[in-house]
């Protein structure tokens, strides 16, 4: 499957102007002219993939406890918007299926980052694979977990993969993945022009997170970075959406 990425990908949706990882955030990204969004996915107690970043609920919802200990119905009753502002009161935690449907309707590609809870790598990856229909919309699946990428690839070998790193990967790190990856995701602050040249090539494209200043985005593009993740995609008008 061909992976046609814009330079700017809305990080957790347009999370600078709407509550992250919500339908409001992906819709806002589209209004701002984005063609792709990035979201985080975890698994509920009843094995439903839902869109939320933290393993715990307290930061971005009115709930307590962990995502993994709650059912999909219990999470659907949580408010995931009022923390951001009163205009988003009642915004829900979407399931991955719900978010993909909305993104299909408004023509958004989706980078799904698998963020499995401890001990849930295999079942999270399998559940994500079961929801995705890559023939219906552009999708990239990424993770910090090499095991998550391997399990997902076995279940959905045609879906492009991205490997996410907290520190700069060595060539040996990429070979150790044991699955083909299309993109390598690295913290923008750690990258140099030399790093981009080493990591990029015919097999990999370099994606940088999280970039919210236009000057930094311009520099990364000049170095050969394929795409940046930004909370504020509107700041990069003219650099490519």
* Averaged pLDDT, groups of 10, the chain, 241 residues long: 90 98 98 98 98 98 98 98 97 98 97 97 98 89 98 97 95 93 97 95 91 98 97 91 59
User: Coil, strand or helix: which one is 219?
Assistant: helix
**CB distance 161 to 140 below 8 Å:** yes
pLDDT value of residue 1: 63
Q: What are phi and psi of 105, to 5 degrees?
A: -65, -30
Asked if 155 and 126 count as a contact pair (C-beta separation under 8 A), the reply is yes
pLDDT at 241: 59
Number of folded domains in the chain? 1
Residue length of the chain:
241
Distances (CA, A) of 35 to 6, 47, 182: 7, 29, 18
Does residue 230 fall inside a structural domain?
yes
Residue 200: inside a domain: yes
| 1 falls within a domain | no
Is 241 inside a domain boundary?
A: no
Give the integer Cα–Cα distance in Å for 117 and 115: 7
Domain span holding position 27: 8-236
Do 100 and 137 form a contact (C-beta atoms < 8 A)?
yes
Angle (nearest 5°) at CA 17 between 86 and 186: 135
Query: What is the C-alpha to C-alpha distance for residues 233 and 241, in angstroms, rounded to an integer?
Result: 8
Catalytic, 185? Answer no
- For residue 64, being part of any structural domain is answered with yes
Residue 3 lies in a domain: no
Taking the whole predicted model, whether its pTM rises above 0.95 is answered as: yes
pLDDT attached to residue 122? 98
What is the C-alpha separation between 171 and 58, in angstroms, rounded? 38
Residue tagged active-site, from 11, 185, 204, 232: 11
Q: Hunting for tokens 């806002």 — which residue is that? A: 28
User: What pLDDT was estimated at residue 43?
Assistant: 98
Residue 11 annotated to the active site: yes
User: Residue 134 belongs to a domain with what CATH number?
Assistant: 3.20.20.190
């Amino acid at each position: 499957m061909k992976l046609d990425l814009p330079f700017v990908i809305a990080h957790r949706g347009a999370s600078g102007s709407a509550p992250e990882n919500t339908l409001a955030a992906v819709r806002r990204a589209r209004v701002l002219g984005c063609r792709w969004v990035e979201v985080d996915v975890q698994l509920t107690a009843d094995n439903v993939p839902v869109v939320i970043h933290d393993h715990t609920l307290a930061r971005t919802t009115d709930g307590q406890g962990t995502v993994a200990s709650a059912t999909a119905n219990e999470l659907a009753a949580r408010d995931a918007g009022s923390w951001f502002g009163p205009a988003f009161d009642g915004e829900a935690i979407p399931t991955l299926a719900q978010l993909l449907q909305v993104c299909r309707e408004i023509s958004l590609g989706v980078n799904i980052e698998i963020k499995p809870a401890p001990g849930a790598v295999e079942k999270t990856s399998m559940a994500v694979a079961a929801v995705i229909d890559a023939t219906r919309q552009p999708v990239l699946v990424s993770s910090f977990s090499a095991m998550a990428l391997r399990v997902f690839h076995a279940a959905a070998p045609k879906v492009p993969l991205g490997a996410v790193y907290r520190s700069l990967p060595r060539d040996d790190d990429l070979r150790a993945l044991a699955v083909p990856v299309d993109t390598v995701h690295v913290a923008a602050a750690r990258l140099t022009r030399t790093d981009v040249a080493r990591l990029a090539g015919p097999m990999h494209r370099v994606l940088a997170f999280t970039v919210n200043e236009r000057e930094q985005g311009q520099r990364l593009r000049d170095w050969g970075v394929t795409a940046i993740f930004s909370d504020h995609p509107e700041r990069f008008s003219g650099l490519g959406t």
